[in-house]
Amino acid sequence: MNGLRPDLAAIAAHVREGARVLDVGCGDGALMAALRDQKGIDARGMELDATNVANAVTRGLAVVQGDADTDLADYPDNSFDYAILSQTLQTTRRPDLVLDQLLRIGKQAFVSFPNFAQWKIRFAHMFGGRMPVTKQLPHRWYDTPNIHHVTIDDFKSFVKERGYTIEGEWYLTGEKQRGAAMANLLAEHAVFLLRR
């Protein structure tokens, strides 16, 4: 899965061949195209930005313009093996409800997000006294699309509360995967595989 963003590569590596996949917030369809070309998967996508949708369509992908917060209700129960939400959870108005939708539509769900408890962010906050602006989260407080920052520990306890099961977890720093030890402090990104 060369050239894919690291969290997408982690997801792509763990999707079963021939599975039915819905990529929510699919951008220009990079992951969908990789799944099609390398795993023979006829993925479907949803994306908010019209230009991204158009780019995905010109790659031959089936992508509809839509909003994860409102339009996931349009999909029937169990219509996909996997629903994927990469780096989009923290931009939704109601991440809890979006996650419920993912696990209604998909039998399993991949969710990836930037970890707001990573030490660089903690440092920036503690010593700078300002909202952190990092490579992973380059926006300032007033123009950020990331309106619901979340940490790995927050996410795990939320998943538990909701009664979902974690079937896989992968942690990333830069391009590299790292172990689960102290992930909440050390990992920049997390990828989870969940099921109902």
Minimum distance from CB of 22 to another protein (Å)?
9
**189 neighbors 115 (Cβ within 8 angstroms):** yes
Please say which residue, 54 or 126, places its beta carbon nearer to another protein.
54
Please say which residue, 75 or 170, places its beta carbon nearer to another protein.
75
Neighbouring residues of 179: CB distance < 8 A, sequence distance ≥ 6: 171
Minimum distance from CB of 77 to another protein (Å)?
10
Contact footprint for another protein (CB under 8 A): 42, 44, 50-51, 53-54, 56-66, 71, 74-76, 79
Distance between CA 137 and CA 153 in Å, rounded? 18
Q: One-letter amino acid identity for 17?
A: E
Minimum distance from CB of 51 to another protein (Å)?
8
Distance between CA 185 and CA 153 in Å, rounded? 10
Please say which residue, 67 or 154, places its beta carbon nearer to another protein.
67
Minimum distance from CB of 1 to another protein (Å)?
21
Please say which residue, 23 or 188, places its beta carbon nearer to another protein.
23
Alpha helix (H) ranges present in 94-175? Answer: 95-105, 119-123, 152-162
Record the tokens describing residue 156, joined without a space. 């795990």
Please say which residue, 53 or 190, places its beta carbon nearer to another protein.
53
Minimum distance from CB of 43 to another protein (Å)?
10
Record the tokens describing residue 24, joined without a space. 């929510």
